[in-house]
Amino acid sequence: MGSTIGDIGEFGLIARVTARFPQTENVIIGPGDDAAVVRAADGRVVATTDLLVEGQHFRREWSGGRDVGHKAAAQNLADVAAMGARPTALLVGLAAPPDLATAWTDALSDGLNAECALAGAAVAGGDVVRSGTLTIAVTALGDLEGRAPVRRDGARPGDVVAVCGTLGRSAAGLALLRAGADGPAECLAAHRRPRPPYAEGPRAAELGATAMLDVSDGLVQDLGHVAAASGVSVALRTGALPADPVLDEAVRVLAELGAGPARPAEYMLAGGEDHALAATFPAETGLPTGWTEIGVVTEGDGVTVDGAAPVRGGWSHFG
């Protein structure tokens, strides 16, 4: 039987985890001191934080430690990219029961490190405490590199609405896991390890995006935040949503099992945790490859889908 974190203690675990995190040029002093020192060449630091609680955001019978590490890093790094910034560093807090296997925390560390590598960031430090509920807290930092931050309140009537990244696969993956299905594998992977298009956040900022966010709680719900902050309405067209044969197959499998919505568009509009980027751009902007125009900003308020108010959906922590 392998060791547990109770066997090696807090400082033993910190030393074990720290050894697994290589540093980048952004992190001047990394794990091992009282605090980290992170380069901020721009003079401004983009910062965000999030929590993952076992049973609420992940289940160990569905996701391994490496999966959870990828997911914990991705959902925070995506928020940094959605501000138009380049991710630089993560701070990670771990609250865990003493019988948690060190092999699991090793895998968690490897997942965090691997996801940081995809975004050009590094783990700069963190903390470990004892807890009856396994919880991971992540704070991400980013560098605007001289750009203005892209906020939620800049959308204007006449702007186009566009997305980059996959939509609906994570929600379909969760439905497949709940139904006991073993595929499509791409949807299961999207739920366990989302793949945000990190580089496209700064790229959108350089193109003049007027508002942007990552799709964490569902496309309609998240664009509702843009509409409310900007004092506008967002009109979406389901016919413009990106075609996705993988999601089509997932919906077919779920229909055979009698689980989940019958249309892929419902997953795309209401499903969350894909961490795609959604942004608004001036109408004359030439969207680069990877971005798909799915609607327009108009006068009014709220979000409409094909001219009608959508049925309430998306993730709510207290709903």
Average pLDDT of the residues in 191-203: 98
Q: Is 217 annotated as a binding residue?
A: yes
Question: Residue 318: what pLDDT?
Answer: 32
Question: Residue 216: what pLDDT?
Answer: 96
Q: Is 273 annotated as a binding residue?
A: yes
- List every span in the chain annotated with CATH 3.30.1330.10: 10-143
Q: Is 57 annotated as a binding residue?
A: yes
Rounded to an integer, what distance in angstroms lies between the CA atom of residue 148 and that of residue 145? 9
- List every span in the chain annotated with CATH 3.90.650.10: 160-305
Q: Which amino acid is at 164?
A: C
Rounded to an integer, what distance in angstroms lies between the CA atom of residue 202 and that of residue 81? 6
Q: Is 306 annotated as a binding residue?
A: no
Question: Residue 100: what pLDDT?
Answer: 97
Question: Residue 319: what pLDDT?
Answer: 42
Statement: residue 39 has pLDDT above 60: yes
Q: Which residues contact 243 (CB under 8 A, 6 or more apart)?
A: none
Using an 8 Å Cβ cutoff, are 211 and 157 in contact? no
Q: Which residues of 147-169 are buried (b: 16+ CB within 10 A; e: fewer)?
A: beebbbebbeeebbbbbbbbbbb
Share of the chain above pLDDT 70, in %: 97
Using an 8 Å Cβ cutoff, are 195 and 77 in contact? no
Radius of gyration of the CA atoms of the chain, in A: 20
Average pLDDT of the residues in 70-84: 98
Pairing relationship of beta strands 135-143 and 211-214 according to DSSP bridges = unpaired
Q: Write down the CATH number for the domain with range 160-305.
A: 3.90.650.10
Average pLDDT of the residues in 99-103: 97
Rounded to an integer, what distance in angstroms lies between the CA atom of residue 186 and that of residue 192? 10
Q: Which amino acid is at 20?
A: R
Give the CATH architecture of domain 10-143: 2-Layer Sandwich (3.30)
Statement: residue 260 has pLDDT above 80: no
Q: Is 33 annotated as a binding residue?
A: no
What are 11-22's pLDDT values in tens digits?
898 889 888 888
Rounded to an integer, what distance in angstroms lies between the CA atom of residue 77 and that of residue 79? 5
Rounded to an integer, what distance in angstroms lies between the CA atom of residue 240 and that of residue 236? 8
Question: Residue 256: what pLDDT?
Answer: 95
Rounded to an integer, what distance in angstroms lies between the CA atom of residue 178 and that of residue 186? 16
Q: Is 126 annotated as a binding residue?
A: yes
Q: Which residues contact 43 (CB under 8 A, 6 or more apart)?
A: none
Q: Is 152 annotated as a binding residue?
A: yes
Confidence of residue 2 (pLDDT cuts 50, 70, 90): confident
Q: Is 153 annotated as a binding residue?
A: no
What are 108-162's pLDDT values in tens digits?
999 999 999 999 999 999 999 999 999 999 999 999 999 999 999 999 999 999 9
Q: Is 159 annotated as a binding residue?
A: no
Q: Is 48 annotated as a binding residue?
A: yes
Question: Residue 1: what pLDDT?
Answer: 58
Q: Which residues contact 93 (CB under 8 A, 6 or more apart)?
A: 126, 127, 128, 129, 135, 136, 137, 138
Q: Is 49 annotated as a binding residue?
A: yes
Q: Is 133 annotated as a binding residue?
A: no
Average pLDDT of the residues in 56-62: 95
This prediction's pTM: 0.94
Torsions phi, psi of 210, nearest 5?
A: -95, -20
Confidence of residue 314 (pLDDT cuts 50, 70, 90): low
